């Protein structure tokens, strides 16, 4: 197998039109790319370097921003993927937000409110570790959460999920028109691999902190979640905000695919260092001459002092 380009890796798991998407089409243990395992570390190293360079251009250009949304079941590797893929980027141009269960202040607002406040500014990369997509995932799997949202009953009909998809699509379209490039990742881990990782979290003391007993309870709803993910992706994978359904049973592959997708996104934006206008360039030349003259003066004074000391 020839080494795939970043564009090919990004395209492989991309869904830009969800209408015919079936989650069963993506195997969490997908064997594609298994031959890359030997060179995965090296590819990752190079990818991280490339990403650092591209991020600097994105930042300098200061017109586009990138919003990366991560959704997954517990232990699918969201945190580790974010940590590894972003390990080379300048923290000044990148913000990560983790969205936990909403506060009472959050619940007193429309569902896009709390995430809107954390959208990336121009030139920045914003990462959402969970997002407004929880509103059609966990909220759908657990209808009692919807009850706590203080919506007037007339607005809670059987169309509520369809309406949320519509609102999300419109919101993301709006972002795309505001130069916010949106990429959404579903890290797809199998139930079996999730169990293996939970066991590791229980057995290894260094991993205990990552484990929460409620995660095991939530696992009972795995199939309901998969249905909710499938329906969500079918309805919100669009040309302007595609989903990437990334196999997550093998961490090295997940990380390679996510890194390639982020690189491809910035390469497609193709940000440029801003041009220096001719009059500004002339000013640069004048200042350069001034600074050089100052250095020459300093050197001459030093020389003179040396001669004086000798005499």
* Residue closer to Mg ion, measured from CB, 87 or 212: 212
Q: Quickly list DSSP for 186-215.
A: EEE--HHHHHHHHHHHHH-GGGGGG--HHH
Instruction: Write the binding mask 71 to 90 for Mg ion: x where contact by CB under 5 A, - elsewhere.
Output: ---x----------------
Angle CA(1)–CA(256)–CA(13) in degrees, nearest 5?
75
Beta strands in 87-239 (DSSP E): 94-98, 125-129, 180-188
- Please report, as residue ranges, which positions from 250 to 279 form the binding site for ligand ATP (by CB under 6 A): none
Choose, by CB under 6 A, the member of 124, 130, 188, 244 that binds ligand ATP.
130
**Binding residue (CB under 6 A) for ligand ATP from 138, 156, 202, 226:** 138
Please work out, in degrees rounded to the nearest 5, the angle formed at the alpha carbon of residue 130 by the alpha carbons of 127 and 133: 115
Residue nearest to ligand ATP (CB): 134
CA distance readout (Å), 307 to 72, 295, 299: 73, 19, 13
Segment lying near ligand ATP (by CB under 6 A), choices 58-66, 137-145, 188-196, 221-229:
137-145
Answer for which of 40, 46, 61, 99 binds ligand ATP (CB under 6 A) is: 99
Residues 219-248 that bind ligand ATP (CB under 6 A): none
Q: Where are the beta strands (DSSP E) in the chain?
A: 14-15, 65-72, 94-98, 125-129, 180-188, 243-247
Q: Is 158 helix (H, G, I), strand (E, B) or coil?
A: coil
Of the candidate spans 31-39, 61-69, 131-139, 172-180, the one that interacts with ligand ATP by CB under 6 A turns out to be 131-139
The tokens of 233 are what? 């992706």
61 binds, among ligand ATP, Mg ion, none (CB under 5 to 8 A by kind): none
Minimum CB–partner distance for residue 141 and Mg ion (Å): 14
Smallest separation, CB 212 to Mg ion (Å)? 6
Q: What minimum distance in Å lies between the beta carbon of 288 and ligand ATP?
A: 51
Task: Closer to Mg ion by CB, 71 or 261: give it.
Answer: 71
Residue 217 to residue 221: CA distance in whole angstroms: 8
What character string, x for contact with ligand ATP (CB under 6 A) and - otherwise, covers 196-215? ----------------x---
Check binding of 74 to ligand ATP (CB under 6 A): yes
Residue 245: phi, psi to the nearest 5? Answer: -95, 105
- 64: Cβ–Cβ under 8 A, 6 or more apart, which residues? 58, 122, 123, 179, 180, 181, 269, 271
By CB under 6 A, residue 145 contacts ligand ATP:
yes
- Residue 66 CA to residue 123 CA, distance in Å, equals 8
* Minimum distance of Mg ion from residue 215's CB (angstroms): 6
DSSP bridge partners of 232: none
For residue 134, the minimal CB distance to ligand ATP (Å) is: 3
Of 90 and 98, nearer to ligand ATP (C-beta) is: 98
79 binds ligand ATP (CB under 6 A): yes
139 near ligand ATP, judged by CB under 6 A = yes
Look up residue 295 and give its two tokens: 């250095």
Using the 8-state DSSP alphabet, how is residue 91 labeled? G
Q: Which residues are bridge partners to 247 per DSSP?
A: 188
Residues that bind Mg ion (CB under 5 A): 74
Residues that bind ligand ATP (CB under 6 A): 74, 79, 98-102, 130, 134-135, 138-139, 145, 212
């Amino acid at each position: 197998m020839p080494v795939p380009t970043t564009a090919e890796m990004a395209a492989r798991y991309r869904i830009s039109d969800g209408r015919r998407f079936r989650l069963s089409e993506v195997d969490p243990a997908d064997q594609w790319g298994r031959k890359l395992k030997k060179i995965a570390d090296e590819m990752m190293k190079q990818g991280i370097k490339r990403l650092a360079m591209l991020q600097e251009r994105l930042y300098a250009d200061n017109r586009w921003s990138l919003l990366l949304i991560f959704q997954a079941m517990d232990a699918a590797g969201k945190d580790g993927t974010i940590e590894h893929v972003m390990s080379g980027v300048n923290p000044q141009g990148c913000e990560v937000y983790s969205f936990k269960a909403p506060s009472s202040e959050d619940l007193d607002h429309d569902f896009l409110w709390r995430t809107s406040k954390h959208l990336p500014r121009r030139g920045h990369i914003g990462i959402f570790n969970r997002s407004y997509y929880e509103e059609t995932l966990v909220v759908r799997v657990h209808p009692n959460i919807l009850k706590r949202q203080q919506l007037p009953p007339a607005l809670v009909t059987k169309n509520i999920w369809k309406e949320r998809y519509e609102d999300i699509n419109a919101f993301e379209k709006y972002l795309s028109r505001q130069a916010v490039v949106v990429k959404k990742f579903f890290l797809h881990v199998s139930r079996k691999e999730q169990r293996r990782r939970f066991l590791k979290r229980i057995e290894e003391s260094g991993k205990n902190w990552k484990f929460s007993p409620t995660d095991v309870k939530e696992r009972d709803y795995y199939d309901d979640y998969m249905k909710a993910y499938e329906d969500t992706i079918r309805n919100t994978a669009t040309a302007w905000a595609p989903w990437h359904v990334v196999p997550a049973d093998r961490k090295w592959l997940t990380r390679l695919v996510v890194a390639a997708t982020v690189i491809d996104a910035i390469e497609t934006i193709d940000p440029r260092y801003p041009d220096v206008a001719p009059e500004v360039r002339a000013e640069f030349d004048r200042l350069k001459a001034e600074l050089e003259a100052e250095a020459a003066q300093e050197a001459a004074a030093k020389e003179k002092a040396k001669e004086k000391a000798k005499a």
